[in-house]
Amino acid sequence: MGYVLYSLSFCALVLATALYFTRQRWLHLLPIPEPIYTRLPTSFRDDIEAGLSSSAFDLSANVEAGDSRQGLDDAGKREVQTIMKRRGVDFDEARRIYMQNRFKNNNIGPDGIPRDPKFVSFS
């Protein structure tokens, strides 16, 4: 009986170690519930402080110009922050993943051309 218990605990330890070291591959697939209340930034300055800016998507010009808008879209910010947390990627990669998902949901190809068979384009 002792050997069975030892073998099961050893297998559980090996499995837990393997899952820990491969967590970047499967962790984003888990349905992790979001908190009921999350404080989202309400201005471009808060967006920059929250890490929602980069050299390719620079918000500092908006802050310097005194832009009075409320900042980025709340739903988009929430989704990008969720992607950043779950997949462990930076802001630019999370923004790219977010846009690809939006394109896919709206039946638009990765190149920006609609996949509708009735679509006609004139150049």
Closest CA to 82 of 104, 98, 58: 98
57-94 CB burial, b ≥16 within 10 A, e <16: eebeebeeeeeeeebbeeeebebbbbbbeeeebebeeb
Confidence (pLDDT) at 7: 93
The domain segmentation of the chain, as residue ranges, is: 1-29, 31-114
pLDDT, position 20 = 92
**Which residue in the block uniquely carries the two structure tokens 């190809």?**
109
Does the global pTM surpass 0.85?
A: no
- For each of the chain's 123 residues, which pLDDT tens digit applies? 778 999 999 999 999 999 999 988 888 788 877 665 455 556 677 777 777 777 777 777 777 777 667 667 778 888 888 898 888 898 889 989 998 999 988 888 877 788 888 877 776
Which pLDDT value is given to residue 35? 61
